[in-house]
Amino acid sequence: MIKPRTPAGVLELLPPDQIAFQRMLDTIRRNFERFGFLPVETPVMELTDVLLTKSGGETERQVYFVQSTGALAKAEEGTPELALRFDLTVPLARYVAEHEHDLAFPFRRYQMQRVYRGERQQRGRFREFYQCDIDVIGKDALSVRFDAELPAVIHAVFSELDIGAFTIQLNNRKLMRGYFEAQGVADPELQALVLREVDKLDKRGEDYVRETLAGEGFGLQPDSVARILDFVKVRSTSHADALAHLDALGDGNAALHEGVAELREVLELVRALGVPESSYALNFSIARGLDYYTGTVYETTLNDYPQIGSICSGGRYENLASHYTKSKLPGVGISIGLTRLFWQLREAGLAHSADSTVQVLVTQMDEAHLPHCLSIANELRAAGINTEVVMEPAKLGKQFKYADRAGIRFVVVLGEDELARGGVTVKDLRREDQFEVTRAELAQTLRVELAQAQVLSTR
């Protein structure tokens, strides 16, 4: 006998949680499609030489390699031929480069699949997790206007996910670079080091960071340090306030100027797309991956749960697939790490307890009536209602209890009396209510009840 168990670092769900998770995936997908993004799926395995174009680094240390029994038996030296994807960006780059001549640009794709990382074992860290990504990829060039669509998608997704108030935080790498240059921090690596110190503001406090930056290691002028600290503390409180912060930066150097112009255009179009100004803000401390993003950058946080961190991040990059094609492919994208988000929401008690996917249980009072029960189920299913039938005899109370525990709201009872009258009794377990309808009216009545329940549950 072998103990049934899953590997460490995976999140396997029982059906009620799986239903809730699936509804989140559906909501995300529906909204991605609402904004005109097209579905892509790629194989979980990529050729190792295609996947690992960058040498070394954290990523490569976390890759899972795949070997068939045959390859393993040969005990081949060297790196296996196949490996599991560790994100959806490298597969996107490979996909776009491989199918370049069959795609229309700007290419708008969404992809929602699992990725794999051999993370250190730790609570809340997953070795297998869903990423839900959208990207727009241009050929040669891509207008900054596309950068404005992504906050609108983020707003639509998280409004419908209904997990509380959130803020989409915007910054621009060019603006940041320009500002730092003006403070005498021109070297990109030095900028990265300064930003790493700035990141410690919350944990170590302002004095610590100020002393570090003005101290021996960095040797920045005290007024430069003061200006940098003022800069990274900027959070806008309204659309007008965001524009005022941009104006206050003045003309500055070319990079700053370009970054300001881009952010201004993005803000105006985000507003035109109907995103309420309470849902977005400038945050000049946001940098994201410094060697990757080059323009707009995004992070999204839950207002009441800042400790969860960013629940949706991304930005603008210069060239997606330089390892695979000579074509220049600039893009902008965002990613939601849904497995981790789901786990965090559940930990925070924010996960919605979902109704079952089963909407109606047809109970069984008398074995002899099973064909009747099946025929009723057939009518309900034809009307689009998810229906389960009790197939084996059991006490009626036990059948009700099962429905209640499983989160099935409506129960259909077909007893002798009802049969004689051509009627059916419907029990609403939520409202602890029951009523009788004719069999001819049953499907339509339940459709109306379910539609009402749906409206009420989404307010």
State which residue, 232 or 360, has the beta carbon closest to its own copies: 360
Query: Does residue 343 belong to the site contacting its own copies (CB under 8 A)?
Result: no
State which residue, 10 or 165, has the beta carbon closest to its own copies: 10
Q: How far apart (Å, rounded) are the C-alpha atoms in residues 102 and 218?
A: 50
Query: Does residue 395 belong to the site contacting its own copies (CB under 8 A)?
Result: no
Task: Classify the C-alpha dihedral 218-219-220-226 as positive or negative.
Answer: positive
> Exposed (0-12), middle (13-18) or buried (19+): which is 235, by Cβ within 10 Å?
middle
Residue 87 known to bind ligand: yes
State which residue, 303 or 444, has the beta carbon closest to its own copies: 444
Residue 117 known to bind ligand: yes
Scanning residues 9 to 38, which ones bind its own copies (CB under 8 A)? 10, 12-15, 18-19, 21-22, 33-36, 38
Helix (H) or strand (E) holding 180: helix 173-182
- The stretches of 273-337 forming alpha helices (DSSP H) are none
Shortest Å, Cβ 378 to its own copies: 4
Shortest Å, Cβ 212 to its own copies: 34
In the list 27, 167, 356, 445, the residue contacting its own copies (rule: CB under 8 A) is: 356
Shortest Å, Cβ 91 to its own copies: 9
Scanning residues 66 to 95, which ones bind its own copies (CB under 8 A)? 66-70, 72, 79-82, 84, 93-95
With beta carbons less than 8 A apart as the criterion, state whether 142 and 328 touch. Answer: no
Query: Does residue 65 belong to the site contacting its own copies (CB under 8 A)?
Result: yes
In the list 57, 219, 349, 371, the residue contacting its own copies (rule: CB under 8 A) is: 371
Shortest Å, Cβ 119 to its own copies: 9
DSSP label at residue 354: P
The neighbouring-strand residues paired with 47 are: 82
State which residue, 118 or 415, has the beta carbon closest to its own copies: 118
DSSP label at residue 56: S
**Of 36, 249, 254, 276, whose CA–CA distance to 146 is shortest?**
36
How many binding residues for its own copies (CB under 8 A)?
A: 105
In the list 261, 406, 419, 453, the residue contacting its own copies (rule: CB under 8 A) is: 406
Q: How far apart (Å, rounded) are the C-alpha atoms in residues 188 and 389?
A: 65
Taking CB under 8 A as the binding criterion, the range among 173-181, 280-288, 376-384, 412-420 that sits at the site for its own copies is: 376-384
- The stretches of 233-384 forming alpha helices (DSSP H) are 239-248, 254-272, 338-347, 370-382
State which residue, 159 or 310, has the beta carbon closest to its own copies: 159
In the list 208, 384, 416, 435, the residue contacting its own copies (rule: CB under 8 A) is: 384
Shortest Å, Cβ 289 to its own copies: 21
State which residue, 79 or 434, has the beta carbon closest to its own copies: 79
Beta strands in 192-330 (DSSP E): 280-282, 293-302, 313-317
Residue 292 known to bind ligand: yes
| Longest Cα separation, the chain | 93
In the list 124, 189, 216, 326, the residue contacting its own copies (rule: CB under 8 A) is: 326
The neighbouring-strand residues paired with 389 are: 362
Query: CA dihedral in degrees (159, 160, 163, 169; nearest 10)?
Result: -30
State which residue, 5 or 203, has the beta carbon closest to its own copies: 5
Residue 111 known to bind ligand: no
Angle (deg, nearest 10), helices 206-214 and 222-232: 140
In the list 27, 87, 103, 305, the residue contacting its own copies (rule: CB under 8 A) is: 103
Residue 116 known to bind ligand: no
Length of the chain equals: 459
Q: How far apart (Å, rounded) are the C-alpha atoms in residues 371 and 357?
A: 24
**Of 228, 223, 222, 169, whose CA–CA distance to 194 is shortest?**
228
| Known binding positions for L-histidine | 87-89, 117, 131, 135, 288, 292-293
